[in-house]
Structure 1
Amino acid sequence: MNKNKESVKQTQNIKANDSNMNKNKELQKLVQNNKHFEFLPSGKIKCILTNHEILPTLQEFNNYLNGKSYKNAQENDIDFTQFEPYIVQHKSDRNKLYCNLTRQNISKKKSVVLKHVNGKRYKYYLSKYLEEQAKEEQENQESNQEDEVQNELEELNNLINEEEEIQPKKQKSGILKGGKKINKKKVKPQSEEQIEIEKTIQNKQTQQQDGKQMKKLKNKHQKEQKE
C-alpha cells in the first residue's frame, strides 16, 4: 500500500513539474512577444511602461495584463511629437495637449488625440492653414523674381553707362584743317554689344509688366470665386 501511495505521489509530482514547465514556456513566449516587458536578472518580469515588477508566474502576468495600470499606460504609449507643430504640450497641464489649429485643449491619451486629428474640424483648419502657407510661399517667390529682374536691369543700365563713358576716349581724331581738329565720325553708331544690352533690358521690362498683369488677373479671379 505504501509503495502504491509513493508511486501515485511521484506521478503527481511529475505531472505538476511538466505542467509548470509548460506554463514557464508559455510565459517566456508571452514576455518575448510583448515589447513592453522584459525579464530581470532576478527572474522577475518588468513592465517598461510603468517600471512595475511582476512575479514570474503565468497567473500574475495575465492579471497584470488585464489590470487598469497597464491599460492606462498603453493609452499613452505614443509619440505625441509627431503631431507638432499643430498639436503641442500644454503649457501648464502635463496631462494635456493643445491644438494650435482649433485652439482646443486635448487629453493626453492616444485614443483622444487620434480621434481629434481624424475629425472634420481639425482637417478643415489644417487645409486652410496649408492653403495660406502655399499662397504666402507663392507670393514670396514672385516677389523674389521681381527683385531679381530689377537687379538685372540695374546691372545692364550700369553696363550701358560704362560703355558710353569709354566710347569718347576710343574715338579717333580727324585731320587738322585750318588749325582745327575734327572727327571723322561726328555721330558714332551704337555697338552691337550695346544694342544687345538694350534689347535685354526691354525684354526684362516686358516680362516684369506681364508678371504684374498676370498677378492682377489671378487676384481678380480669386475674388470672383469667393463672391
Structure 2
Amino acid sequence: MVELIMDGKQEPKIEKLLAQYPVFTRIDQGKLRCNLTNHELPYKFETVQNYLTTKKFLWEWELHKILEENGQYFEDIGNNLFGCKITMKTISRDPKDLARHLSGKNFQKALAKKEQEAKNAEKEVEDEPMDINFEIKPSVTDEQNSDNSDVSDKESEGANSKKRTLTTKSAKKKVKRKRVA
C-alpha cells in the first residue's frame, strides 16, 4: 500500500473519523473503499466527512448496525428481502422495517418461546443419565435376509400384509412396489 504524507492537522482528524466508522479499508494510490457500498474515495478529511452524510451511506450504516447486533435472526433471501428465522416472515431490506420487526410483539413472543425451548432442551440433556456401557449390534442387510429365507412367496405376502398395518405410509408404498416387481 502507498502511504500518504498528510499535514499534521488532517491525519488525526481523519483517523478519528475512520475509527468511528470501521467499514473503510485503505487501498492503493491513497484511496479508501467503503465495505458497505464499495464506493472508493480519496484519503482526505473533507471528502470522507461529506461521504458520511450521503443518503446511501447512512442507509447502509444503519442496516449494518442492526445486522451486527441481530444478524443471527435474519437470512438474506435476495431481492432486497430478509427472512426472519424466528417468525418465518419476510422483511424488506430497510433499516426502519427491520427495527420495527425487532421491536414488534410477534417477534418478541417468538423469541421468548425459542429461548424457553432452548433452556428446556438444555435441562433435558443435563437430567438425562449417560449410559456408558452400551453395545452396538450389527445390522442385518437385505442380502443376508434373502439368502436365509425359506419362506414361499405366498407366506411372504401374508407377512408383508401384517407388516403393512404397522408401518407408515411411505413404507406402504415400498411394500406395494416390491409386490409388483
Structure number with the higher helix fraction is: 1
Between the two structures, name the one with larger relative contact order (CA 8 Å, sep ≥ 6).
2
TM-score by structure 2 length?
0.48
TM-score by structure 1 length?
0.40
Question: Which has more radius of gyration?
Answer: 1
